[in-house]
């Protein structure tokens, strides 16, 4: 079993209320069990929702040294941390050791996240959920690596 960003499987859960359907990921269902998760929904955020970015990176958020804010400046850090913790709980429940997550997401980004300025500029870093899962020895790949 593999955790998977629900939006990649066609579930309309991204911040715009749309999906990020990825046919390569969908094709994996022919021989893998993919468990869909949306950490932002698991953290209590609605769909659709205002876009969010990390001011820092996911590790800094988990360590209390950075925050996640919406475009209008609302602090949603606690929602992102709660969503990461719930995602980890699901992974542990099923004995999952790997995940396929949406690149660039403040929750799921793996190696690339937006820089916190809402200027569409990607920088090196991991999203909050990715950081927590990596800290718990769960391998993360982006849909770009599938």
Residue 15 CA to residue 114 CA, distance in Å, equals 14
pLDDT at position 111, please? 93
pLDDT at position 37, please? 98
pLDDT at position 62, please? 98
pLDDT at position 54, please? 97
DSSP H helices in the chain? 23-27, 39-42, 58-62, 77-94, 128-135
Positions in the chain short of pLDDT 70: none
- Global pTM reads 0.97
By the 8 A CB rule, do 15 and 51 touch?
yes
């Amino acid at each position: 079993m593999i955790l998977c960003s629900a939006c990649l499987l066609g579930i309309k859960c991204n911040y715009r209320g749309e999906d990020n359907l990825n046919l390569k990921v969908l094709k994996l269902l022919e021989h893998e069990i993919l468990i869909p998760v949306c950490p932002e929904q698991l953290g209590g955020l609605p769909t659709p929702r205002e876009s969010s970015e990390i001011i820092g990176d996911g590790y800094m958020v988990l360590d209390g040294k950075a925050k996640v804010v919406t475009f209008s400046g609302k602090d949603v850090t606690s929602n992102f941390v709660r969503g990461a913790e719930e995602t980890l709980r699901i992974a542990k429940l099923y004995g999952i050791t790997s995940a396929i997550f949406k690149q660039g997401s403040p929750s799921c980004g793996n190696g690339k996240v937006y820089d916190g300025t809402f200027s569409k500029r990607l920088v090196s870093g991991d999203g909050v959920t990715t950081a927590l899962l990596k800290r718990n020895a769960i391998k993360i790949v982006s849909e770009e690596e599938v």
